[in-house]
C-alpha cells in the first residue's frame, strides 16, 4: 500500500478509536450512576422494610402493655366496688378488716398482682401488706393525683411496674386503693428487631437485652432529662452514611429506631432493628458501583474486541480467499500453459503423452481399445514460403478448430510440433479409427481457409495404428509415424495404417 493510501486510511482508524473510547466512557458513566441509583434504592428498600417491621412490632407491644394496664384498671375498679372494701372504709373495725383482708388476698393470688394497698387520707396503709410500703416516688405522685396511672422501673427490684390508684369512699372517709402489677418483657420477638420500653423520663424499664436496663434512651441532639443525673445514657450516635440509622455502643452497631407512644402517656415502646445489612451495603456502595461499572465496561470491551476480531478475521478470510482463488487461477493457467499449445489451444506433446499412458493403462486393465493417428499438413512449408508465416499460423488454427468440430467429444487432438498433430481415439478399434480419420480428411479437404484477399485450401496425411497391450508410448508413436511416412510416400492426402493405405480424399479428387 502506498503512503498516500496509508494516510487516507489513518483518519478513519482514529475516528473509530475515538468512537470506541467515547462509547466506553459513556457506558462507564451510565453504569456508575445507574448502579449508584440502584444501590441507593436497594438501601432505601431495606430500611423501609425494617422500619415497617419495627413499627408493627412496636405497635403490637404497645397494645400488649395497654391490655395489661386496662386489665389492672378493671381489677382496681372491681376491688373498689366490693362491699367489703366500702364497709371497711366507712367503718374500720376487726370484722370488716378480716373480710376485706380475705378478699384482697384472693385477688392478689388470683390475678398475680404484685401488691395491693389501701391508703388513708394521709397516704399511709390502712391494712398490713407483705409488699411493704409503696415507693416514695409513687406516694409523692399520689399527693398530686389520686387517680394515679404510673409506669416506673424500680431499681431495687430491677422490675418495670404498673401502678394504678382509684379513690374509695368520699369526704373524710375517702381512701385510695393502689394496685401494683409487674410487667413482663415484651412477648413480641422478631428476627433482627429488639424491643424496649421507657418511662416518662426516658429510662429503659423493659428490654429484650438486659444490658440496656437502667439506661436513658435519648436521641442524639435531644435535650437532657432528669434521669440522666442518676443513670447512664444508652450510647447512640448518628450514622455519617445513613441519616436514619444510629450507631449503637462501642461496636458501632447500625440500628434503626422506631418509637410508638400509647394514647395514655407514662411510657413509650421502641423497636430497635438491626440495620447492618443496609449499612454494609452503604459502606460498599462505591466499590460495588465500581465493580458493576468495570463489569459492564469490560463486557462491552470484550464484545467489541470479539466483533472487531470477527470482522478482522472475516476481512482476512476474504483477502485469503481472493488470494487463494487467484492462486488457483494462476495454477490453472500455468497448468494450461504447460499442457496447451498457445497457438491452436490444443493439448501439447506433454499432455498427449500423458493421455497415451492413461489410455494404455485402460487397455491393459479393462481391454478398452484405442487408436492414434499421426497427422501432418501437406506442403505446409510451401504455404509458409508463398503466403507468409502469419498465414501459416492461421492455417494451423483453422485446422485445429475444424478438427475439434469434426471429431467426437471424447477424442483428443494434440499438436506435437510444427505442422504435426496427434489424434487419440479412445474406445475405438482399427476399423472405426480408419473411418473417423477418413471423415476428418474429407472435411478438411472440403473446407479451405478463407482470408480477406485469398482462399487457401490444404490437406493432410495421416498414419493410424491400433494400440496393443504390449505397447509403450514410444512404440505406439513410432508405428504411427511409419504409417504417416507411408501416406506421404504414396502421394499425401490420405490415411495409412500399418497394413492398409486409404485412397486420397474424395474432396480433392
Question: What residues are annotated to the active site?
Answer: 419
Are the C-beta atoms of residues 86 and 169 closer than 8 Å to each other? yes
**How do 495-497 and 420-426 pair as beta strands?**
unpaired
What is the spatial distance between Cα 154 and Cα 110, in angstroms, rounded to a whole number?
23
List the alpha helices (DSSP H) in 81-201: 83-90, 94-111, 136-144
Q: Using alpha carbons only, how large is the chain's radius of gyration in Å?
A: 62
Tell me which DSSP letter residue 134 carries: P
Tell me which DSSP letter residue 211 carries: G
What is the spatial distance between Cα 395 and Cα 423, in angstroms, rounded to a whole number?
18
Give every CB contact of residue 400 below 8 A, 6+ residues apart in sequence. Answer: 344, 345, 346, 413, 415, 421
Q: How many Cα atoms within 13 Å fall on the side-chain side of residue 480?
A: 32
Residue with cell 399520689: 142
**How do 246-248 and 159-168 pair as beta strands?**
unpaired
What is the spatial distance between Cα 240 and Cα 253, in angstroms, rounded to a whole number?
13
Amino acid at each position: 500500500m502506498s503512503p498516500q493510501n496509508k494516510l487516507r486510511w489513518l483518519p478513519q482508524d482514529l475516528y473509530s478509536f475515538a468512537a470506541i473510547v467515547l462509547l466506553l466512557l459513556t457506558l462507564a458513566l451510565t453504569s456508575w450512576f445507574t448502579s449508584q441509583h440502584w444501590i441507593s434504592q436497594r438501601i432505601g428498600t431495606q430500611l423501609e422494610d425494617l422500619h415497617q417491621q419495627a413499627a408493627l412490632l412496636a405497635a403490637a407491644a404497645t397494645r400488649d402493655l395497654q391490655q395489661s394496664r386496662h386489665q389492672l384498671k378493671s381489677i382496681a375498679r372491681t376491688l373498689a366496688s366490693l362491699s367489703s372494701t366500702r364497709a371497711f372504709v366507712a367503718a374500720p373495725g376487726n370484722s370488716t378488716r378480716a373480710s376485706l383482708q380475705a378478699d384482697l388476698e384472693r385477688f392478689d393470688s388470683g390475678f398475680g398482682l404484685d401488691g395491693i394497698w389501701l391508703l388513708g387520707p394521709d397516704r399511709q396503709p390502712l391494712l398490713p401488706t407483705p409488699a411493704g410500703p409503696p415507693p416514695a416516688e409513687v406516694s409523692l405522685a399520689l399527693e398530686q393525683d389520686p387517680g394515679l396511672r404510673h409506669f416506673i422501673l424500680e431499681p431495687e427490684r430491677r422490675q418495670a411496674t404498673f401502678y394504678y390508684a382509684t379513690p374509695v369512699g368520699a369526704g373524710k372517709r375517702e381512701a385510695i386503693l393502689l394496685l401494683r402489677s409487674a410487667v413482663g418483657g415484651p412477648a413480641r420477638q422478631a428476627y433482627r428487631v429488639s424491643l424496649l420500653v421507657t418511662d416518662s423520663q426516658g429510662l429503659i424499664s423493659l428490654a429484650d437485652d438486659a444490658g440496656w436496663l437502667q439506661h436513658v434512651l435519648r436521641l442524639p441532639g435531644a435535650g437532657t432529662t432528669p434521669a440522666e443525673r442518676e443513670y447512664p445514657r444508652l450510647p447512640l450516635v448518628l450514622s455519617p452514611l445513613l441519616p436514619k440509622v444510629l450507631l449503637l455502643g462501642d461496636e458501632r452497631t447500625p440500628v434503626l429506631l422506631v418509637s410508638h407512644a400509647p394514647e395514655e402517656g407514662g411510657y413509650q415502646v421502641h423497636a430497635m432493628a438491626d440495620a447492618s445489612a443496609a449499612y454494609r451495603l452503604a459502606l460498599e456502595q462505591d466499590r460495588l458501583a465500581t465493580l458493576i461499572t468495570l463489569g459492564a465496561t469490560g463486557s462491552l470491551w470484550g464484545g467489541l474486541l470479539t466483533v472487531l476480531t470477527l470482522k478482522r478475521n472475516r476481512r482476512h478470510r476474504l483477502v485469503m480467499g481472493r488470494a487463494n482463488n487467484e492462486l488457483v487461477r494462476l495454477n490453472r493457467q500455468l497448468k494450461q500453459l504447460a499442457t496447451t499449445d498457445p497457438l491452436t489451444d490444443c493439448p501439447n506433446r506433454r499432455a498427449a503423452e500423458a493421455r497415451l499412458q492413461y489410455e494404455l493403462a485402460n487397455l491393459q486393465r479393462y481391454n478398452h481399445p484405442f487408436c492414434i493417428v499421426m497427422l501432418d499438413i501437406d506442403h505446409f512449408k510451401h504455404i509458409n514460403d508463398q503466403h507468409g508465416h502469419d498465414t501459416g499460423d492461421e492455417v494451423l488454427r483453422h485446422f485445429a478448430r475444424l478438427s475439434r468440430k469434426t471429431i467426437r467429444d471424447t477424442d483428443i487432438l494434440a499438436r506435437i510440433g510444427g505442422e504435426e498433430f496427434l489424434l487419440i481415439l479412445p474406445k475405438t478399434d482399427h476399423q472405426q479409427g480408419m473411418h473417423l480419420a477418413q471423415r476428418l480428411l474429407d472435411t478438411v479437404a472440403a473446407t479451405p481457409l478463407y482470408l480477406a484477399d485469398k482462399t487457401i485450401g490444404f490437406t493432410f496425411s495421416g498414419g493410424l495404428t491400433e494400440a496393443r497391450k504390449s505397447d509403450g508410448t514410444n512404440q505406439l508413436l513410432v508405428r504411427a509415424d511409419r504409417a504417416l511416412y507411408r501416406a506421404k510416400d504414396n502421394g499425401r492426402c490420405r490415411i495409412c495404417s500399418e497394413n492398409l493405405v486409404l485412397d486420397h480424399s474424395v474432396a480433392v479428387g
